Structure 1
Amino acid sequence: MTGKTAFETRYGFRRNQVLLANWRENPFNRWSFQNVGELVPSARVAALPVNEAPAEDFGGLLDEKIAVASTPETVAAFLSRSHTDALTVMRGGRIVGDWFAPHMDFGARHIIFSISKSVTAIMAGILEGEGVFDPEAPVTAYIPEARDSAYGEATVRHVLDMSVSLDFEEAYLDPESAFARYRRATLWNPGGGTESLREFLLTLQRLAEPHGQTFRYRSPNSDLLGLLLERASGQRFADLMREKLWLPLGAAGEASVAVDMEGTARTAGGISVTPRDLARVGEMMRQGGTANGRRIVPEAWVRDTTVTGGSSEAWQRGAMLPLFPKGRYRNKWYQTGHENGAYCGIGIHGQWLYVDPRTEVVIAKMSSQPEPVDDPLDLEIVAFFEALSRMV
C-alpha cells in the first residue's frame, strides 16, 4: 500500500486535485494561493536577491489574549481561525515578527488579490510625479478605442477612485454572470482564451447615473488602470513595476503578476509577493513615499491617497459603508476614518495590508479564507489590527 506523499501530508490533498476550476476553493487554495503561476500564465517581476531569515519571535505576543469576538482568544488562535497563511508585522520600520501557517514557508510568494489594485495605483502616482500620467485626463486620451464603452466619458480619476458608473456586479460565485465571463477573459476560469481582457473591458457599458457620484467597487476598473499605465509609459506593466517600484523599494523576493492571452497584466488582482515585501510597500507609504533613503512616489500623492483625498459623499452612497462608516476611498486605498488615521489595501479571501500611522505599525496578512468575502470576519480583522498595533 502506497503511503501519502510529502505534499499530501502537508496540504491534505494531492497536487493533481488542484485545478483551474477549483483553485480558489478550500482546501486547495492553501496551496494554489502560493503557486498561482502553475495555474494561470504569469509575468515575473524580478528583485535583487537578498538573504533574509524569519523573525519568528513575537516576544510572547502570540499567546496574549485579544478580544475581537464575543469570547477572548489568543493571537495565535485568531490567526488560525481567520485562515491566516502568513503575518508580518513592522513597527517604526523594523520587523517585529513573522508568523506562518504549517503549509507556508518563509520567502514564499502569495497572491494578494485586490491589494494588487493598491500596488498598481502606486505606479500611477509615480508616473503622475514624472509628468507622464494625468489623473484628470479622459480615459480616451490614453485608450481611444474605449469611446463606445462605459469609460467613454469617464476620467482617469473616476477609474482610480472606483466612481465609474459601471453596469457590472462583483458576483464572485455566480458561474453564469458577467463576472464569470470576466474571469474567463483573465484565464482564471476554464473556458478562457477566446476573448482577451482588453476586449472584455471595452464591451462594458455604463449606468444612467453620472460618473463620480457613487463609490462602486468594480474590479474591471483596476485592470483598465493597468492598460492606462502601459499606454502612458510605453512599458509592459511587469517591467514598469520592476523599474519604478520593486527595485527602488529594495524588495527581497521576486513578484509575479497574472496575465491574459495577450499578455495583459491582471492588475486588479493578479499580483503575488512575499509577506515581507508586502509589508515593505506599506512601510514605504507610511514613510510618505520613501524607502532606503530614496523617494519612490511623491509625498503629496501619498498624503492625498491616505489622508486628504477621496469623496466622503461617494463612499456614503457605496455598498462598503458598514466596514468603515467614516471611510473614504482614494487611488485604490481605503481610508478607515478611524481616529488613528489607519489606511489599508484589502483583497478577497483575507488579504490585508494595514498601516497605522499613530503607532507606526504596518501589518501584512495573507490568508486562504474559504469564502471570497466574509463581512463579519472583516470587522473582526480590523479590530484585531487595531489591538495588535497597540500591543506591539
Structure 2
Amino acid sequence: MTTAHSAGGGFERRDIDLGNWRTAPYSSWSFQNVSEMVPSAIIKGTGKAERPPLHLGDVAKVIWKDAAGDFLSVPGVLEATHTDAFVVLRKGRIAGEWYGPTCDPAKPHLIFSVSKSVTGLMAGILEARGDLSMDQPIVDHVPEIAGSAYEDASVRQLFDMQISVDFSEDYLDKTGGYDRYRRATAWNPEKPGEGPSDLLTFLATIGKGPAEHGTIHAYRSPNTDLAGFVLERAAGQRFHEMVETLLWQPMRAHSDAAITVDRLGVARAAGGISVTARDLARLGELVRVGGRGIVPMRWIDDIRTAGDKAIWAAGDQAKLFDGGCYRSYWYCPSEHELAAIGIHGQWIWIDFARDVVIAKQSCQPLPEDAATDDLLIATFRAVAQAL
C-alpha cells in the first residue's frame, strides 16, 4: 500500500483531504504537494538542473547562548522547529543547506505569506514600467470593491497593511470570517447549504474597521489578495503569468513554481505560492544585491527605508520586531535586515551588512508560534554574524 511519502509518517495519501491538509502530520507531505489539494497554476522556471544537495558545513558549527544561558546549535534548532529545508547563502554562494527526512529538495514547497513579499516585488516592477501608481485609489483598478472597506483606501495603504477592516486574521477559525475567506480561496471545503464563493466576491463583503486607513498597521491577508487583483488590472495580465515573465524567468529560477487559484482561476497572491528552497534563496539574493535591474533598486531601497516605525509600533505585530517597520509586504527588523515571513515556519532572512541570505521552509504544527519566531530570529542572526 502506497504511503504519502517515502520517508513514512504513519499515514496514506487517502487520509489527506481539503479539511486536514494544513495540519500535522499530513502537512509534512501536503506542503510539497499543494496542487493535489488546491487547483494551481504553474510559474515556469528555466529548467536548469540543480546540483545535488550539499550539507551544513561550517554553519553546523555555529553555537550561541539563549536568554537562559543555554547553548544552541543550528542542527538542534532545525530539528526542533520542524524544518523541511534550510539554505544559507553568503555573497550568493551556498554556505550550507539542510533538508528534513520528508523533504524532496526538487519539489516546490508552499511558502504561505512569503508570497506577499513576492507580490510586493511585482508592484515595484509594474510601477517602474509606468503601469501602477501607489497613490491611486484601489477602486480605480478594482471598481467591484466599491462599498467595501477598500473603497476609500489607496494602493500604498494596501501594500503597507494600513487598511482598517472589520476582519480577524484567525488562522484556526472554522466558522467565521477567516473560514469564509479560506473557502473563497478553495483552501477549505465548501459547507453544505452554502454556495461556492470566489476571492473577489468575498473581498467585496469586507467592511471597514473603526480606525482610519493609513493610521494603523493591521496585518490582514485579504489585503494582498486584493493587491493581486490591482496588479492584474494594471498589467493586463494574469498574476502567475506576470510573475513568470517579469520575475521568475528573468531571475533565472531553476525550477517551476506554482500558485493556488480559486474556482474562477484567480491566483492567491497572499499565500498560495510554492517554490523550492534554493529558488527561495535566489529570490532573497536578488533583493540583497539590489534587484539586478529586474526589481528596481529604488524600490528595494524604498522597502528598506520608507516604512513608518510609529505606525508599526502601534500595530498588531509590533512585538515581532522592536523598532522595526513594514513596507510593501516586507518586514524591516533593522536598518540592515529584511524578512519575508509565512505561517508554519516559512522565511527569507536578508542581512545586507553581512551579505547573507537564509531561506527556511517548515511544517510547524501551529500557524503562529511567537517563541519559535524568537528562536529563529536569534538563529538567523547568529548564523549571519558567524559567517
TM-score (norm 1): 0.95
Map 1:242-281 onto structure 2 (within 5 A): 242-281=244-283
- Output the CA distance in 2 between the equivalents of 1:223 and 1:68: 38
Structure 1 window deviating more from structure 2 (46-55 vs 270-279): it is: 46-55
- Output the CA distance in 2 between the equivalents of 1:274 and 1:98: 13
Whether contact under 8 Å (2:44, 2:244) holds in the other structure is yes
Map 1:218-367 onto structure 2 (within 5 A): 218-290=220-292, 295-306=293-304, 308-337=305-334, 341-367=336-362
- Output the CA distance in 2 between the equivalents of 1:5 and 1:108: 17
Cross-structure match for 1:37: 35
Whether contact under 8 Å (1:8, 1:15) holds in the other structure is no
Residue aligned with 2:152, SS: coil
Residue 62 (1) aligns with residue 52 (2): no
Map 1:48-127 onto structure 2 (within 5 A): 48-68=46-66, 70=68, 71-127=70-126
Per the TM alignment, residue 18 of structure 1 is displaced from its structure 2 partner at its CA by 1.2
Whether contact under 8 Å (1:10, 1:102) holds in the other structure is no
The alpha-carbon distance between structure 1 residues 288 and 343, as it changes in their structure 2 partners (threshold 3 A), is same
- Output the CA distance in 1 between the equivalents of 2:7 and 2:280: 29
Per the TM alignment, residue 30 of structure 1 is displaced from its structure 2 partner at its CA by 0.5
Map 1:125-204 onto structure 2 (within 5 A): 125-191=124-190, 194-204=196-206
- Output the CA distance in 2 between the equivalents of 1:275 and 1:260: 25
Per the TM alignment, residue 59 of structure 1 is displaced from its structure 2 partner at its CA by 2.4
Map 1:199-214 onto structure 2 (within 5 A): 199-214=201-216
Per the TM alignment, residue 8 of structure 1 is displaced from its structure 2 partner at its CA by 6.4
Give the share of equivalent positions with the same residue, in percent: 45
- Output the CA distance in 1 between the equivalents of 2:7 and 2:135: 53
Cross-structure match for 2:26: 28
Residue 368 (1) aligns with residue 368 (2): no
Per the TM alignment, residue 68 of structure 1 is displaced from its structure 2 partner at its CA by 3.8
The alpha-carbon distance between structure 1 residues 64 and 387, as it changes in their structure 2 partners (threshold 3 A), is closer
Unpaired segments ≥5 residues, structure 1? none
- Output the CA distance in 2 between the equivalents of 1:315 and 1:125: 21
Return the letter of the residue paired with 1:12.
G
Whether contact under 8 Å (1:162, 1:218) holds in the other structure is yes
Per the TM alignment, residue 64 of structure 1 is displaced from its structure 2 partner at its CA by 4.1
Unpaired segments ≥5 residues, structure 2? none
TM-score (norm 2): 0.96
Q: How many pairs were matched up?
A: 383
Return the letter of the residue paired with 1:223.
D
- Output the CA distance in 1 between the equivalents of 2:140 and 2:189: 34
- Output the CA distance in 2 between the equivalents of 1:18 and 1:63: 38
Whether contact under 8 Å (2:138, 2:150) holds in the other structure is yes
Return the letter of the residue paired with 2:352.
P
Whether contact under 8 Å (1:54, 1:97) holds in the other structure is no
Per the TM alignment, residue 208 of structure 1 is displaced from its structure 2 partner at its CA by 2.7
